[in-house]
Chain A
Amino acid sequence: MTNILNEIGIENYIFLSVILFCIGVFGVLYRRNAIIVFMSIEIMLNAVNLLFVAFSTYHQDAQGQVFVFFSMAVAAAEVAVGLAILVSIFRNLGSIDINNLKNLKG
């Protein structure tokens, strides 16, 4: 494993993760469909997971890989709650476009 990391270099893993993370951030900021926003959040979290595994190999230390399991479990729980909220919004409004949610203002 170290050989591969030596050939590619840790920096490239960081760049890849940062690019994926930014794609996720811009997805959250600019897309109006709630499902796609959820997917963008998942991209953000998975970019971090990728970087955790890369750093774990870089440091020859298993803690980072264990952390990935925690963060995957947490992300799954989070999305379950998010989808439940989305279902109740769809029942009330009949759409999942975020632009329709403008009742709270002031």
Chain B
Amino acid sequence: MNTLIAIIGLGVLCLLFEIFDARKAIIPIAVIGLLAILGLDISEYNAAPAFYYNNMIVVGKYSTTFSALFIILTIFLVSLGHKFYENRPTKLSDFIAIKIFLLAGAVAMVSFGNLAMFFLGIEVLSIALYVLASSNRTSIKSNEAGLKYFLMGSFASGIILFGICLIYGAMGTFDITEISELSRSAELPIWFPIGIVLLFIGMLFKIAAVPFHFWAPDVYEGSPSLTTALMSTLAKVVAIATLYKLVKTMNADISPSFQLVIVIVSIASMTVGNIMALRQINVKRMLAFSGISHAGFMLMTLLSTAKSSGTLLYYTSAYALAGIAAFSVILYVCKTRENEDITNFHGLGKNNPLMAAVLTASLLSMAGIPIFGGFFAKLFLFTQTIQAGFIALVIVAVINSIISVGYYFKLILAMYTKEPNEAKIPASKVYLAVAIIAIALNIAMGLCPSFVLDLL
């Protein structure tokens, strides 16, 4: 609860700094403030679960650990803004403040105890993302991405709202613990399962799982690169963590038919994402499809909700940290370029070996090669799913991991085997620092996996 209030306070502070003409201090203050908030959040980790405002917000282990992950990701994204927005200094405070308010929505989404809070959180997050997606307003691509994201996002919000409404109609309450107790009783109106299904569909839109993924590649490609980094790491992790919490708390006993739906959606997301990614030449589009396939992997945790929250935390952190590292290299390479095509990466291994090494490491982590976090994430996920009894799903998932190596290596080969087609670009300290810290955290997770896994 204190975390949420502190985040909102920091966002307002960023806007005030612009008024008092202290533009240079915005990013340092935001980063220091976020580090302090991270400390505040961790201090609440060991406390007993606390309920605030008639159960509107529930602070427990699940919400504090995931909030800590979101805050770490936001620190990286805010620091990347230092270089990315250097041509638009007058808008800096707006961008940083919007990102911090987005974090407030994200924290509200994982610590909700009431569907009203959940809806407000998801809307705060989405509206901030619509603004960020179309923030490059002179570029028609960014406009188009913003409009597409807005239309799909508010369509999904409408579906989620209708789902919440039907659940309320069946139960007469918005409180998730009461809903969970009432859902065990025998006689339920037909509206309740319909409401759950609508809520689930709306959340699948938000995490971009097949068959509700069609907006993602266009939006990822058109948005400014830093916003794409935010969407593919922070926004995806927030949505999947929230969906997990909803499924876990609201229907305690998952029915076999619901499990079948999850298996089908998961297989479809992995396969479609990976196969479409093979033929992409734009790196941002490729990572969008890779994100769709990772959403399929993350959905597998929903099959054994009783004990898989640690695995979900591990998988999301490994994926998001690798994503941050990859995107900071992409930001560096494509800063002066028109587009993000794979040809821009030719010869990066010669021009800037360190950046190329970081990008290679993050792609290997996403593909699931040992010592990186991504390998252990997949290992734990597959073990858990086999224990839950879904061997066929795991076989498909392993085949998909092998397919995914194909397009990750396409980019790696382009960096090391092709000749550079342009002169060397001067390195940027911020991008390099963020990339190295993110990939170091990822490798650290791979070296001692039990630390993250045992948090939940």
Contacts and interface: CB of A to CB of B under 8 A. Distances in A.
B131 interface: yes
A85 B282 CA distance: 25
Interface string B137-167: 1101101111110110011011001101110
A77 B150 CA distance: 12
Interface string A20-64: 010011001000001001000100110110011001001101011
A70 B127 contact: no
A41 B155 contact: yes
A92 interface: yes
B123 interface: yes
Contacts of B18: none
B95 to A, nearest CB: 15
A59 B126 CA distance: 31
A2 interface: no
B3 interface: no
B134 interface: yes
B217 to A, nearest CB: 7
Interface of A is mostly: helix
A48 B130 contact: no
A16 interface: no
A59 B174 CA distance: 12
A101 B119 contact: no
Nearest to B129: A81
A71 B134 contact: no
Contacts of B131: 81
Nearest to B149: A85
Contacts of B145: 104
Band of interface residues on B: 35 or more
A20 to B, nearest CB: 11
Given A70-B116, A71-B119, A88-B137, A41 B127 contact: no
Interface of A: 10, 14, 17, 21, 24-25, 28, 34, 37, 41, 44-45, 47-48, 51-52, 55, 58-59, 61, 63-64, 66-67, 70-71, 74, 77-78, 81-82, 85-86, 88-89, 92-93, 98, 101, 103-106
Given A61-B172, A78-B157, A104-B221, A67 B116 contact: yes
29 contacts: A21-B162, A37-B151, A41-B151, A45-B158, A48-B162, A51-B169, A52-B165, A52-B168, A55-B165, A59-B172, A63-B116, A63-B173, A63-B174, A74-B120, A77-B127, A78-B123, A78-B157, A81-B130, A82-B130, A82-B150, A89-B147, A98-B147, A101-B143, A103-B144, A104-B222, A105-B218, A106-B217, A106-B221, A106-B282
